[in-house]
Amino acid sequence: MSLPLPCLCLVTDRRRCAGRPLEDVVEDAVSGGASLVQLREKDLPASELASLARRLREITHGRALLFVNDRIDVALVSGADGVQLGEHSLSVSQARDVAGTRLMIGRSVHSVEGAAAAASAGADLLLVGPIFPTESHPGEAGHGPTILERLRGRVDVAYLGIGGIDSRNVDQVMAAGASGAAVITAITLAEDPVLAARVLARAVSRSFAGSTAGLSARAP
């Protein structure tokens, strides 16, 4: 199991789907090119979260990876591909002790130091942010793409920018060295989630291909 690169990740928020069922939005996002879905519904009890995870597993199976936020148990029983840990969740090593090699382990980080520590601990994926101002972190201005640039050569795992990213600024995220982008409302609140995901996925792929070509050209 490996992370598809470049990667467009949809982070779920069922309360911000413009009145549509979350499952429909996830289906649209995957159809449009999202290659990773992170189930992030913190208020749901375990039984409901597991049921939702199983439904999303059916949608994403063979089409996109599925990560479950924080809940290793739910990730395992639903057949998810990974778990996404917050900075105040279990450590990467503790999660690995529980999940073994059955799950990929992502870590959400908010500093260069945190990213380096998570990578050293064996995380498979880093979500770095918030990059731009976002309602998920009210009152924070965002780190800007600079934090992504500072990670170049510092970590040897894939890292995605998250926070306030949409089709207008995703190129900045990719140009700063990210392996992809994670979004919520840029897809969930879009009038046409399929089209929104397609535009973002194409931008991510175009920028990633350009940065890879540039690195190859500069290689000795």
- Non-local CB neighbours of 107 within 8 Å, separated by 6+ positions: 84, 85, 87, 92, 118, 121, 123, 125, 126, 127
Give the phi and the psi of residue 218 in degrees, each rounded to 5: -90, -10
CA distance 108 to 118: 9
- The pLDDT value recorded for residue 134 is 82
Strand, coil or helix: 184? coil
User: Cα–Cα distance between 180 and 174 in angstroms, integer?
Assistant: 6
The pLDDT of residue 87: 85
Q: Compute the CA torsion angle 138, 144, 145, 146 (nearest 10 deg).
A: -130
Please give the Cα distance from 106 to 67 (Å, whole number). 8
Whether omega for the bond prior to residue 130 falls within 30 degrees of 0, making it cis, is yes
**pLDDT (tens digit, 0 to 9) for every residue of the chain, 220 residues total?**
789 999 999 999 999 999 999 999 999 999 999 999 999 999 999 999 999 999 999 999 999 999 999 999 999 999 999 999 998 899 999 999 999 999 999 999 999 999 999 999 999 999 999 999 987 666 677 899 999 999 998 999 999 999 999 999 999 999 999 999 999 999 999 999 999 999 999 999 999 987 654 444 434 3
pLDDT score recorded for residue 139: 65
